[in-house]
Structures are given as C-alpha cells and as structure tokens.
Structure 1
Amino acid sequence: MNYEIFDLGDVTLQSGVTLPRAFLAYKTYGQLNEKKDNVIVYPTAFGDQHVQNEWLIGNDMALDPDQYFIIVPNLLGNGLSSSPSNTPPPFNQANFPQVTIYDNVQFQHRLVTEKFGIQKIALVVGWSMGGIQAFQWGASYPDMVERIAPFAGVAKTWPQTYVVLEGMKAPLMAAVGFDSSKLNTLTSSDMRAVGRVYAGWGVSQAFYREELYRDMGFDSLADFMSGVWEDSFMNMDPHNVLAMLWTGQNADISANPIYNGDFDKALGSIKAHACIMPGSTDLFCPADDNEYEAKLMPNAVFNPINSIWGHFAGRGINSTDNQFIDDNLKSLLALSTNA
C-alpha cells in the first residue's frame, strides 16, 4: 500500500447521516518544515486516485517535494477513502450515504490540523472536482489558505455541468431499468457505456477533428474510444461512480451553514490569491463560468489554458498544457501573501 489512512471515526455528514468508521486515504510528498508553512494540498478529481496527481509533482516543478510538503487526499467515493466499494453494510454499494464537497474538505481539514498540526496552507490546487475542492478550501477556511489554483474546475456545478453528469449516470440507471432498488446488481461491465458518453465531453471537437488521439498512440477513433474512455471507466466500481456523480452534481461552495446558498458571497469571501485556469475549449466546465467566479473574488486572476484538449487540458497528458499550468503555479507561489 503506497498511501496512508487517517481514521475519521464516526462522522456526521451534511445530510445528517452518520457514516461509521470513516477514513481518508492520503499520500504525502516531501517534508513538513519546522515552521509548518510549506504546505500544499492537492485533492483528487472524480474517478482519480493520488497516483493520477503525480504528473504535477516533481523536482524543479512548482510542486517540488524538495521545497514543499504536498498532501494529496483522496476523494470519498474513489475506492481508497471511504467508498461504496470498501464500506461494510449497511452503507455498502448503492447504500453509501450522500457525501458533499463540503464534507470532503472538512475531513481534509481534520487531516491537516489533527495529524500534522498545520495552521497555514500555502496553496490548494486541483483539477476538475479537485478544483471545486480548492475553491471550497478557500471559502471554508479563508484565513488559513493563502493561495488556490483550480484548473478545469468550477466553484459550483452550473447547469451545463449538471446535465453532463446526469448523462453519465443515465447508462447505469438504464442498465437496471431505472429501478433504483436493483442498483446493487451493477457490475464494472455496465461502465462501458458511461465511458462512451463521456467521450464526447472530455476533449474538444477540434481534438477529434485534428485526430490528436494519434499522438497518444491510437491508430483510429474506435481504438481511442475503447482504449481510453471504455477502459478507464470499466476500471471503476459503478457504485463508487454513482457516489462521486452525486458529489459532483451537488457541488456548490455556498451550500453549507457558512454561506446558506449565497454563492456570490462565498466567492467574495475567498481571501486567497487565486489563479483560475479553465480549459479554453472545455465543453462541460466552460471558461465562462470560471470567468464569472473570478470577477467576484477579491484576489483572483483568470488565466485560461489555450488548448484544444478540452477538459483534458488539465489532465497531465499534453506537455504544452502541463507547462502552462506549472508556470502559473510557480508565479502564484512566488506571490507574497503578507500572511
């Protein structure tokens, strides 16, 4: 096991349900310095585990483990932290309770403070649903978080994003005849169709038109569809996916007792220096939504990734996009926060 477990105990979720013996899986890179002020938190995205974040960590990169103590907490529902696939009855499989982004960040805050005694975070960074968690950190703990850098992630699930996630859920519901009492019969093979649905959203029209999948070693569109979209989704547990889809569809940094649904107020309360990097051709976390959010944040710059890789401009695959993200993180980390 190349990660660690932080036991949360019995936790009461935002829904009011108590999840017994909950836990957070996490991995750290680098060493915590004596002042405990070299901390970067880098949450995982939908379907990802900590290893998928490692492309952005390395010597001479912004997230340099020789310089920073980088904590990568795994999203609840991703199969490593508490999830439908690893929770005993009565909360196993389709019976797993609804977990919010707010819940996730509260648990991560416990990890950071209780396990490591950290009081200041230099940066929270994340892609996609990891980006939503970065926004949530800034809104939930404005005096603790000095910088945030969400890329291809929004501060709430806007209607377009919600509809795309609903489309990903539909094949799983169709597989059980839209009878939620039969969800526990789902298997990984039912995930094949989910991958096919997502194929139209993950990258842009121009990506397909210019056949950039050939740069990834795929000879044909059919090979790319099966070799990337089908395979990656079929490696996921369908119940974990349904849990994460619910988390994603209900994400909103203001949907909590701090802001009571006042989204603009939540954005305005983020004190952190922020670099917001949407993919310029992202089809379901559109740059326009991020632009709206950035305008309401007191210390935000809006800096789109000019790329035809769509949502996957933030996925760590295309070297030009990777360099853009890393350069912006270096600039952000170089900013004095006067903290």
Structure 2
Amino acid sequence: MVADSDYQIYEAGDVVLQSGATFPSLRLAYKTYGTLNAAKDNVILYPTSFGAQHTDIEWLIGPGGILDSDKYFIIIPNLFGNGLSSSPSNTPVGETPFPAISYHDAIAVQRRLLEEQFGIQKIALVYGWSMGGMQAYHWAALHPDMVERAAVVCGSARCSPYNHLFLDAVKAALIADPAYRNGRFVEKPVAGLRAMGRIYAGWAMSYEFYRDEVWREQGFGSQEDYLAATWDTAFAHRDANNLLTQIAIWQGGDISNCAAFSGDLDRALSAITAHMLLMPGQTDRYFDWRDNERELPKLVHARSAALRPIPSVHGHRAGNPVRIPADRDFIKAQMSSLLQS
C-alpha cells in the first residue's frame, strides 16, 4: 500500500480479468472515512460513478450525513478508468490497447482490498449512484454472504438497450473529434468533450426540468447560459480515453454475465439475500425506474426489497443532489430507514 495525496493505493498485482487477459500491476485507489470498529461490522462501501473520483462523491459523508462517518467506516473504491485507479491515463501500455475491464473484475479487486487490507467479512451497506449503483447490484448478487444491505440509486442490474443507446450517442460525439486516431485519443478532444456534454444535458435532466425552466433556480437567465456554464464544461477536466474505458464498463454491465449465472438475470437476482433498496429517479431517462420495477419481484430471497423512486424533476441528477435539498432529504430519510432494517 502506497500513500498518495489524500487517498491510498491497493496494489493488486497481476490480475487475470474476466476476459482472460492478464492486467499487470493493477492498482485500486481508495479512501476511507470514520473508524472500523472491533467487530468490523460497521462498513459501508461506496463505489464511484461515471467519470467521478472520490472527491466528487464524498459530500454524502460526514458526521450525521447521509453516510454517517461517526457511526460507520466508509470506503470509497475508485472505479478503474477514473484516472486514480488503473486507467489509460496512468497505465503505460505502449501500442497495446488498454485491457477491457468489467464490473465483475472491479468487484473482485474491491473484495480483495476489504479482506486483505482490513480483514472485513461483512458489509453493512453497499451504496452507489449510477455506475456506483450498478456496482452495488453486482456486489449483492456476487457476494450475498458479505452484503447485508444494498442501495441502488439510479442504477440497474443490467445496462438496458435504451441505456446502451444513450452511451452509443455519447461515444459517437466523443470519437467524432479529430483527436481520435487509431482507436485512441492522441490529444484532448475539446470539441468532442463539449458535444458529449450537450448530449448528456438532454438525457441527464428531465423534460420537466427544461419545460419549467428549473435551471433558473440555479441563477441562470436562459437555457443557453445554463448549458454553456454547466454541461459544455462538465467533462472538460476528464481524460477522454478514461471516459471510453468507463463507457465500455457501463455498457457491459450485467450482474448475470459470469460463470455463476451464465447470463440468467432472474437467477442472479434470486441469489441476492441483502435488504435491497432500489431508488431510481422518477424522471431519470436512461436508468428508467421501470427497470427496477421489473427487477423487484425477482428479488425473491432478499431479506427485504423496496422500490422508492425519488420524486424529482432533476432526472438522473436526482440521485446525486449536491445542491437539491428536497432530493437530498428524501435520500437521507430512505437511507436512515434502510440502515435501521
């Protein structure tokens, strides 16, 4: 383990991936909050979302917060491809393409971190939004012996065809930039990143958000001002090759895509024994709440299973309401109930 800035690195060594390829010297960046108790049963795992690093999502954590660091030992593992864990931007691969990584690979390394670094065998809660929610679902299905509760916020057990299409559009905008050559970006695709942000703006926020000009609540005088200030620069600070890696992980997301379940999603869902909270955004356009509605009756062995859509016009962003008090209060109330189960 190597201390680096405000986070630490778990050196996983040479890891055989789900694809069969070996990733040499795979590195998992993580940060911890709070104190692990003697019984090692106060653990919350909080994986990162698309393009995000731990600093982008740690606003939920704090004394008395949605994830209470006075009570729980919280670990944020940074997803591969986010620029801190092994990613195209920090991995010298020469002419070799960056290896394809799956959620299954990510969860396998995260489990090694918990067991080898901390001796953790039980997780009180896996909490995640978006790609983090998909990781929470994978954890619950793959390691039911460890996971007591899982909160899937604006996520699903499998990337739906519609969600896949959204990501195809994002990827198409990105790679249309002339900086994309021979399968990778050779320099920063400024126009591609801006185009990606405009596509994201239409999908991430709801019809009602734009119809009712909710962006005015953030102090913008016009829709164009909102888009230019918020979405045109949303991905400007990210490495485009990293984003492509995470898009591929996202599109391949499927809890049943492994030897244990052989693509049988119903069997994978029935393997889950945790208390499950499915919390989609009511107006989320790509993680549609109806995916969770279809999953819910398949959670036949879950200790409990609840579907609690976030009543919000903020679309996908309702699940990450940094500056949306009503959505934040709704999530906090649901999490308090889940943690008492």
Question: Does structure 2 retain, via aligned residues, the 8 Å contact 1:188–1:237?
Answer: no
CA distance change for structure 1 residues 176 and 258 in 2, over 3 Å: closer, same or farther? Answer: farther
Structure with greater proportional helix content: 1
Q: TM-score, normalised by structure 2?
A: 0.94
Question: Does structure 1 retain, via aligned residues, the 8 Å contact 2:32–2:73?
Answer: yes
Structure 1 segments of 4+ aligned residues over 3 angstroms from their partners: none
Alignment partner, residue 70 of structure 1: 74
CA distance in 2: counterparts of 1:305 and 1:328, whole angstroms: 10
- In structure 2, which of residues 14, 29, 32 is the aligned counterpart of residue 28 of structure 1? 32
SS of the residue corresponding to residue 7 of structure 1 reads strand
- In structure 2, which of residues 298, 320, 325 is the aligned counterpart of residue 315 of structure 1? 320
Question: Does structure 2 retain, via aligned residues, the 8 Å contact 1:55–1:316?
Answer: no
Alignment partner, residue 185 of structure 1: 186
CA distance in 2: counterparts of 1:218 and 1:44, whole angstroms: 29
Q: TM-score, normalised by structure 1?
A: 0.95
CA distance in 2: counterparts of 1:21 and 1:158, whole angstroms: 32
Question: Does structure 2 retain, via aligned residues, the 8 Å contact 1:176–1:182?
Answer: no
**Residue 202, structure 1, aligned to residue 204, structure 2:** yes
Question: Does structure 2 retain, via aligned residues, the 8 Å contact 1:176–1:183?
Answer: no
Alignment partner, residue 333 of structure 1: 339
**Structure 1 stretches lacking a partner, 5+ long:** none
Alignment partner, residue 214 of structure 2: 212
* CA drift at 1:263: 0.5
* CA drift at 1:2: 1.1
Alignment partner, residue 229 of structure 2: 227
Alignment partner, residue 302 of structure 1: 307
CA distance in 2: counterparts of 1:293 and 1:195, whole angstroms: 30
* CA drift at 1:327: 0.9
CA distance in 2: counterparts of 1:208 and 1:240, whole angstroms: 30
SS of the residue corresponding to residue 305 of structure 1 reads coil
RMSD, matched Cα: 1.5
Alignment partner, residue 142 of structure 1: 144
CA distance in 1: counterparts of 2:6 and 2:223, whole angstroms: 35
C-alpha deviations, 1:77-117, integer Å up to 9, x for none?
A: 0111100100012377xx21111111111111111111000
**Structure 2 stretches lacking a partner, 5+ long:** none
**Residue 110, structure 1, aligned to residue 112, structure 2:** yes
* CA drift at 1:188: 4.0
CA distance in 1: counterparts of 2:45 and 2:73, whole angstroms: 8
CA distance in 1: counterparts of 2:183 and 2:108, whole angstroms: 32
Give the % identical residues. Answer: 48
Alignment partner, residue 242 of structure 1: 244
**Residue 165, structure 1, aligned to residue 135, structure 2:** no
CA distance in 2: counterparts of 1:91 and 1:16, whole angstroms: 19
CA distance in 1: counterparts of 2:329 and 2:75, whole angstroms: 21
CA distance in 1: counterparts of 2:227 and 2:260, whole angstroms: 43
Question: Match of 1:9, as an amino acid?
Answer: G
- In structure 1, which of residues 49, 56, 71 is the aligned counterpart of residue 53 of structure 2? 49
Question: Match of 1:183, as an amino acid?
Answer: R
**Residue 85, structure 1, aligned to residue 89, structure 2:** yes
Question: Match of 2:80, as an amino acid?
Answer: L
CA distance change for structure 1 residues 134 and 267 in 2, over 3 Å: closer, same or farther? Answer: same
Structure with greater proportional strand content: 2
